[in-house]
C-alpha cells in the first residue's frame, strides 16, 4: 500500500505543496515542519513527515530555497593554481582546513574554484556560480578582473595573502617583520655571509640567482615582503629564487649556493620550510654539517616530512587561524557589518638548524 511512489501522476517529483495537500495542511505549515523555523503541533508534524515519506519527498529543493532566501549557503574559494599545486603546499592545506571549519560554523560550504577561464565553456566562475561570498587565495592581476564581477554582484569578498584593492578586507601575515626577526637571529649568531632562497617571484617560476631587475619586478607580495625583511638586516645577501615551495626546489637552490667552496654562505634563510628542508639536504650532500658549517632557517612552522632529527629554526605562522579568520570575516560581512583586514603575527621558533657562525 505504500509502494507506488506517486499517488496521482507519477511523472513529477513530489513538492512540498503535494505533501501539504496530502497531509491536509497548508504549504506554509509543511515548510515550517522542515525548516523548524516556527513551532508546530507535534501531531501535525508527524502527519506531515509520514506523508512526506510516503510520497518520497526528501525535503525542500535547495535550489528553490536558495532563490527564495537569497542565500545559497555556498562560499567560493578561488585558487590561482592547479589544485595539485595548491595542496602540495602544507601551509595552504592547513589554511583551507581552517577555512572550511570557519565556513562550516557559519553554515556554508566551500566551492572550489580555479581562476582559469580555459577550463570549460560553461564551467562555473566567480561570476556565474551561485555563491554568497568569495575568498581569494592570493590575487593575481587576472584574478582582479574576475573580482570586479563579484563586487558588482555585491557579494562579500576576503583575500588571503594578496592585494585586491583597499576596500577588500585582507587576511595577512607580518611577513616582513618575521623575516627580519630570523635575519636578526642569524646576525646575532655572528653570521656575515648570508643568503636567502625565496619563493617564486611571479607566476613564471623562474629559478636561480636574482638580478636586481628581477627583484624589482617581483609581483608576489609574500615573496617581496619576506625578502624585504631579510634585507633590512642583510642588505647585500645573495638572493636565489626557487621555482616553488618544495623540497626539491630547495635542493636545487641549495646546490647552487653551495657549489663554490670558496664562496659559500654560512647562513641560509629559506622563505618556506619545504625549501629549507631541501637546502639542508643540499648542504649535507655537499658535506656540510647543519648547523656547524651552515645555518639554515625556514618559514611557516609546518611539520616537514623528511627532516630527520632536525628541528627547523623558523617563523611559525598561524595557517589554520588565517583560514578561520577569513571565514569569520565572511560571516560578519554576510551579516551586513564591515570587516576589517586582519594581520596575523608569526612566532619565532629557534630550532636545531641554526647556530653560531663558523670561525
Q: Which residues of 30-69 are buried (b: 16+ CB within 10 A; e: fewer)?
A: bbbbbeeeeebeeebbebbbebbebbebeebeeeebbeee
One residue of 5, 6, 8, 28 binding DNA per CB under 7 A: 28
Q: Is 12 in the site for DNA (CB under 7 A)?
A: yes
How far apart are CB 24 and DNA at their closest, in Å?
A: 6
All 3 cell numbers of residue 52? Answer: 512526506
d(CA 217, CA 197): 17
d(CA 57, CA 63): 15
Residues in the chain: 359
Whether residue 133 contacts residue 339, with contact meaning beta carbons closer than 8 Å, is answered with: no
Q: Is 94 in the site for a second copy (CB under 8 A)?
A: yes
One residue of 7, 56, 165, 204 binding a second copy per CB under 8 A: 56
Residue 55's binding partner among DNA, a second copy, none (Cβ under 5 to 8 angstroms by kind) is: none
Cα→Cα distances 82→119, 163, 303, Å: 11, 20, 23
Binding track, positions 61-90, relative to DNA; x by CB under 7 A = x-xxx-xxxx--------------------
One residue of 24, 62, 204, 356 binding a second copy per CB under 8 A: 62
Q: Is 88 in the site for a second copy (CB under 8 A)?
A: yes
**Beta partners for 348?**
315
Q: Is 58 in the site for a second copy (CB under 8 A)?
A: yes
How far apart are CB 287 and a second copy at their closest, in Å?
A: 15
d(CA 33, CA 29): 6
Q: Is 130 in the site for a second copy (CB under 8 A)?
A: yes
d(CA 222, CA 161): 7
Beta strand pairing call for 295-297 and 208-209? unpaired
One residue of 124, 190, 208, 243 binding a second copy per CB under 8 A: 124
Residue 82's binding partner among DNA, a second copy, none (Cβ under 5 to 8 angstroms by kind) is: a second copy
Q: Is 104 in the site for a second copy (CB under 8 A)?
A: yes
What is the size of the binding site for a second copy (CB under 8 A)? 57
HEC string of 91-117 equals: HHHHHHHHHHHHHHHCCCEEEEEECCC
By beta-carbon proximity to a second copy, the closer residue of 32 and 246 is: 246
Residue 235's binding partner among DNA, a second copy, none (Cβ under 5 to 8 angstroms by kind) is: none
By beta-carbon proximity to DNA, the closer residue of 39 and 287 is: 39
Q: Is 53 in the site for DNA (CB under 7 A)?
A: no
Q: Is 38 in the site for DNA (CB under 7 A)?
A: yes
Q: Is 63 in the site for a second copy (CB under 8 A)?
A: yes
Helix (H, G, I), strand (E, B) or coil at 48: helix
How far apart are CB 271 and DNA at their closest, in Å?
A: 45
Whether residue 41 contacts residue 48, with contact meaning beta carbons closer than 8 Å, is answered with: no
Q: Is 72 in the site for a second copy (CB under 8 A)?
A: yes
d(CA 135, CA 339): 13
User: Which of 182, 295, 267, 188 has its CA nearest to residue 230?
Assistant: 182
Residues near DNA (CB under 7 A) = 12-13, 15-17, 24-32, 34-35, 37-41, 43-45, 57, 59-61, 63-65, 67-70
Residues near a second copy (CB under 8 A) = 13, 56, 58-59, 61-64, 66-67, 70, 72-74, 82-84, 87-88, 93-94, 96-97, 100-101, 104-114, 119-124, 127-131, 149, 152-154, 246-248, 274, 305-306
Amino acid at each position: 500500500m505504500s509502494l507506488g511512489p506517486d499517488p496521482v501522476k507519477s511523472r513529477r517529483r513530489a513538492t512540498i505543496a503535494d505533501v501539504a495537500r496530502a497531509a491536509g495542511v497548508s504549504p506554509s505549515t509543511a515548510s515550517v515542519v522542515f525548516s523548524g523555523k516556527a513551532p508546530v503541533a507535534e501531531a501535525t508534524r508527524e502527519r506531515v513527515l509520514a506523508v512526506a515519506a510516503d510520497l518520497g519527498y526528501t525535503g525542500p529543493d535547495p535550489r528553490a530555497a536558495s532563490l527564495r532566501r537569497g542565500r545559497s549557503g555556498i562560499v567560493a574559494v578561488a585558487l590561482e593554481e592547479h589544485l595539485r599545486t595548491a595542496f602540495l603546499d602544507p601551509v595552504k592545506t592547513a589554511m583551507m582546513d581552517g577555512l572550511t571549519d570557519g565556513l562550516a560554523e557559519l553554515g556554508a560550504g566551500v566551492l572550489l574554484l580555479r581562476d582559469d577561464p580555459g577550463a570549460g565553456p560553461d564551467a562555473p566562475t566567480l561570476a556565474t556560480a551561485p555563491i554568497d561570498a568569495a575568498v581569494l587565495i592570493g590575487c593575481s592581476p587576472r584574478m582582479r578582473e574576475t573580482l570586479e564581477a563579484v563586487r558588482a554582484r555585491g557579494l562579500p569578498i576576503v583575500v588571503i595573502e594578496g592585494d585586491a584593492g583597499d576596500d577588500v578586507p585582507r587576511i595577512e601575515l607580518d611577513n616582513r617583520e618575521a623575516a627580519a626577526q630570523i635575519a636578526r637571529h642569524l646576525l646575532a649568531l655572528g653570521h656575515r655571509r648570508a643568503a636567502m632562497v625565496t619563493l617564486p617571484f611571479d607566476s613564471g617560476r623562474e629559478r636561480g640567482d636574482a638580478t636586481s631587475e628581477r627583484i624589482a619586478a617581483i609581483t608576489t607580495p609574500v615573496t617581496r615582503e619576506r625578502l624585504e625583511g631579510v634585507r633590512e638586516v642583510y642588505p647585500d645577501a645573495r638572493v636565489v629564487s626557487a621555482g616553488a615551495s618544495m623540497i626539491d626546489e630547495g635542493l636545487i637552490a641549495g646546490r647552487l649556493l653551495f657549489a663554490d667552496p670558496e664562496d659559500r654562505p654560512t647562513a641560509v634563510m629559506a622563505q618556506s620550510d619545504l625549501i629549507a628542508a631541501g637546502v639542508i639536504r643540499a648542504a649535507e650532500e655537499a658535506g656540510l654539517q647543519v648547523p656547524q658549517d651552515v645555518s639554515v632557517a625556514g618559514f611557516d612552522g609546518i611539520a616537514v616530512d623528511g627532516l630527520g632529527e632536525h628541528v627547523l629554526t623558523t617563523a611559525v605562522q598561524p595557517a589554520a587561524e588565517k583560514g578561520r579568520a577569513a571565514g569569520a570575516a565572511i560571516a560578519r560581512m554576510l551579516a551586513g557589518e564591515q570587516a576589517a583586514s586582519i594581520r596575523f603575527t608569526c612566532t619565532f621558533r629557534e630550532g636545531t638548524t641554526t647556530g653560531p657562525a663558523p670561525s
